[in-house]
């Protein structure tokens, strides 16, 4: 296996920094309003979930194993036909690796504090889910016909991510 030659350092996940790739799903920084006779606060419309006309949006759960850091990066992928959101169900921290283009030189990494989810806009290059803490993540993405997953193999490039 190739030596780890280049470790990306994950930066804190913020809406502004993540804006080129999608949205951060969190309460912080968002207004809310009382609903249900004041028993709840609604933080509304936090992410733009998208699908092409042939597909539909679906909710799934990923039961993720914890990844030891630094973690070797093996794949970049993107979903041109729809968005993809990940929300920790029990406050699990996770690392988000994205890229502006198919060039691994544009890689960037963020770390969620577990109170933040992310929604990748369609066709955003990203590494598959990297959980720091094991656990279940709610995933909202597009299900339907056609090839909705373009993949680039990063294995052998010695790329990794650390916090």
Ligand X SMILES: NC(=O)N[C@@H](O)C(=O)O
Q: Given the rule CB under 6 A, which residues bind ligand X?
A: 77, 84, 126, 128-129
129 binds, among Ni ion, ligand X, none (CB under 5 to 8 A by kind): ligand X
Tell me whether residue 84 or residue 116 sits nearer to Ni ion (CB atom).
84
Least distance between ligand X and beta carbon 38 (Å): 38
C-alpha–C-alpha distance, residues 107 and 38, integer Å: 43
Least distance between ligand X and beta carbon 129 (Å): 4
Tell me whether residue 118 or residue 160 sits nearer to ligand X (CB atom).
118
C-alpha–C-alpha distance, residues 145 and 155, integer Å: 28
23 Cβ neighbours under 8 A, 6+ residues apart = 15, 46, 47, 48, 118, 119, 121
Tell me whether residue 84 or residue 160 sits nearer to Ni ion (CB atom).
84
Assign 126 to helix, strand or coil: strand
């Amino acid at each position: 296996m190739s030596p780890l030659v280049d470790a990306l350092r994950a930066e804190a996940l913020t809406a502004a920094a993540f804006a080129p790739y999608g949205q951060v799903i969190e309460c912080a920084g968002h207004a809310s309003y009382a609903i249900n006779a004041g028993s709840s606060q609604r933080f509304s419309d936090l992410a733009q979930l998208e699908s092409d006309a042939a597909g539909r949006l679906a909710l799934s759960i990923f039961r993720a194993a914890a990844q030891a850091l630094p973690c070797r990066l093996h794949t970049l992928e993107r979903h041109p036909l729809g968005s993809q959101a990940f929300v920790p169900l029990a406050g699990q921290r996770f690392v988000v690796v994205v890229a502006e283009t198919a060039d691994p030189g544009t890689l960037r990494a963020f770390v969620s504090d577990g109170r933040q989810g992310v929604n990748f806009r369609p066709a955003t290059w990203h590494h598959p889910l990297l959980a720091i803490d094991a656990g279940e993540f709610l995933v909202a993405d597009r299900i339907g016909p056609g090839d909705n997953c373009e993949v680039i193999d990063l294995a052998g490039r010695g790329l990794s991510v650390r916090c």
